[in-house]
Amino acid sequence: MSMRGKRCIKPGTTLVELMMVIILLTLILAALYKVSRATQQGAHEVMSNQVINDDVLRLVNKLTDDIRGSNFSDPNLPPTFDTEALANNFTVLDPNNQLMFTKVKFDFTKDPNSFAPDQVNYTQLRIVYTVKKMNPANATGPYALFRESLPFNDRRQALTADKTKFQLMNDLDSLVFYRLKNPKAPRSGNLFIHLRMTRQDKTGSNSEKYTVDVVTSVKERGGEPE
């Protein structure tokens, strides 16, 4: 009881005490600031990585959606490898590193008996993905992905005037398309996409770079018209 009384009637704080508090507070705030700063930097780092994750995800989704909705693909573009090891040696700049497939749109409103001899009840869109160096002067990447589409009319003639080509993505470290030999797989097997992309602030050391390396496979769902 008496101890409580002593503490309660203490008149104030000494200068030393005040300085101690200030020093401690300064130390604490400095430490907190550092932690906060580090956290912010970390968060920024992670968010930047997420951006590249998103970019890759969007690109993979675009490719897989495109392939899934197609009707048939070229059996030789991309090429087929016996093993994954051989596929890993397939280079970005190989002229066969292309993805070619065709989407078919049927028209059921026309009477097939009124067709000209060479007419069919569908039109086609041939799509080709190619990978090129962004700077032709460089020996290697970064690379850009192009999507070319060429429509065909209902006489299966190419409408070259309506051909389009645009750059879908740039700053790719690597993007290769291939198939793996799998006799048990239907058709020509799955189409594989191996994509690698590194964050753009490449000034940091290698250990600080963030690279997304994705291998995915997808299969066309539609069928070739007879």
Partner 1 sequence: MKSNNNAVISDGGITPKLLRKCSKTRSGLRGSATLIALGMGIVLLIVIAGVRSYTTYRVQNTIMESRNLKALAVAEAGLAFALSELSNNYDFQTHKVNSDPKLSWGAEQPTSQTLQADSNFSFSVRAATKGTYSGTLGDGEFKVRCGPIPYTDNRNTKNIDESKSFFKVDSMGKIGDTVRIVNAVIQRRYPGREFLMYDGGFLSLIYGTPGLNNVNKFSTGHLYGHLGIEIGRILTNKHVACPAGTDQELYDMDSIITGDGGIFLYNDIKTQFRPKNGQPLLDTFLKKNSDFPPNGTYPSGNEKFGEYPKELLEEKPEIIDPQNQLKDRMKDKGAHISIPPKPLPFETYKKQAMANGVYLKTTDCTEPYPVTPGWLPSGNSVKVRVLDFGTQLHSPQGITIPANFNGVIFADESLVIKGNPLRDVKIVSRKDVFVAGDFNQRGNPTLTSASGQNPERYGFPQNFNPNAFASEDYIDSQLLKDDLTAAYKRHQAATVIAHDRVVFDYRSPVDCFENELYPFMKYKLASVLRTKVRAKTEILLRSGSGGIDTDATDVPTVKNRIASFFEEFPLLPDSTDKTPETGLANEFANHYQTSGSNFPDADFDPLCMKVWKEFRERYKDEKMKSEDTAGTIGKFGVYKLLKSLRDEMRTSLTNLKPDDPQDFLYYPEMTTNGMFISGGKRNRTFYAGPDYIKVYDEIGSDETCVGAANVGLQHSARGEMIHRLYGSEIRLNLYDINRITKGSYNEPTRRKLYDESLPKMALDSGSADFAAFRYLTWQDFRATTAEFTNF
| Contact residues: partner 1, CB under 8 A | 4, 7-8, 10, 12-13, 21, 25, 28-29, 32-33, 35-36, 39-40, 42-43, 46-47, 50, 54, 57, 65, 68-69, 71-72, 75, 104-109, 111-113, 116-120, 155-156, 181, 183, 186-188, 220-226
We find the least distance from the C-beta atom of residue 216 to partner 1, in angstroms, to be: 12
We find the least distance from the C-beta atom of residue 69 to partner 1, in angstroms, to be: 5
We find the least distance from the C-beta atom of residue 160 to partner 1, in angstroms, to be: 19
Long-range contacts of 85-90 (CB under 8 A, 24+ apart): 87/176, 87/178, 87/180, 87/192, 87/194, 90/176, 90/178
**Distance between CA atoms of residues 176 and 92, nearest Å:** 5
> How many residues in total does the chain contain?
226
Q: What's the DSSP call for residue 114?
A: G
Which CB sits closer to partner 1, 79 or 142?
A: 79
Which CB sits closer to partner 1, 21 or 134?
A: 21
Structural element, H or E, at residue 152:
strand 143-152
We find the least distance from the C-beta atom of residue 18 to partner 1, in angstroms, to be: 9
